[in-house]
Structure 1
């Protein structure tokens, strides 16, 4: 009788019905040293993620733009002033040319000064040219976004997500999904996903960044869409080289 009552309580719990959107876990502090927290000055958005790809460049989503952005590296709990943290203002906000939401959602941030590489602050490798993720691959995404529809977190969380067939996102997002520049991520049979506040964070497969958290439905249910980094490698490399020649003061 007791197991039956427990089962009934589980089924009737509204939180269980809603499902935890990320349903991941808190990571070991500073075990993802490439992660960047973006503090954005804007009316509508206050937080995004990103990742360090060069000592003075962070890669993120273009919809994370604002009039002023500060990058926090080496953070685990963003509400605390941890000794490992490096707080660096952004010198240049560089969205992809002709940026359009849900089309080419990628942006580079040039830092005002170089990040100091430490045990808590490190670089994440970009994909090799021609490298592609395939359906069935399991990758990870980390962020400080909501862990369910109503709950925020100050500590870095991570979730394992499976790459899906393109048809899953075509059915869910129709013309908003473009397989040449986007990746379909997250098993629709599971309540595991990225959500609000995770935008700009990296999809990491085999220790390389393959995607950038871009968009999804407001209910947070998978699959969701990530920007395919491999499609933008020439622009990333050209842009970093160009602005390295015009170093910030």
Structure 2
């Protein structure tokens, strides 16, 4: 029983931990990667059941150290995917977020990089805008009193500080484009920042869009907020 529990819990953690890197490096397609995650949850649940049987009925013959390690593996294998599912249910199933819903910033240099992406470069549309308004009402255009050149430099520096790949920085157009690659699955999400002068003020709009997936699990909204926070710190 001890060996069986160890094997199942170890298998469970592998099925949950490995799909991300395997997809990231092109070894596994996205569909099979998510299937492996699902099986990892099932294996984790099985391991937890066996651990409980051990603790309740075979207490005299078990190694508590082995049980502890197996339980940690099993709980992580079950808890991590379930937390992702819970996050998905708490946010709208959208993947294109913009602070300007009427005239979203357009991707220029990044557009060719998204040519083969499942999610097209064009803005997702009115239904997405409606869902964004309800879920993220705080995401709006930001107005700065500093000149546009200063805001542009602060934004470019912020993108570098966040570790994103800077694709385009055109000061004459007031456009900065970048790509953020997620750590686990290596999903590429693209960002475009539009900086314009309006009288004595500078208006900044940011759009962040995933290349794949229907729902971004709230990541694009978080990314926009993170960028604004870093820009503010730089200013």
Query: TM-score with structure 1 length normalisation?
Result: 0.28
More strand by share: 1
The TM-score with structure 2 as length reference comes to: 0.29
Larger Rg: 2
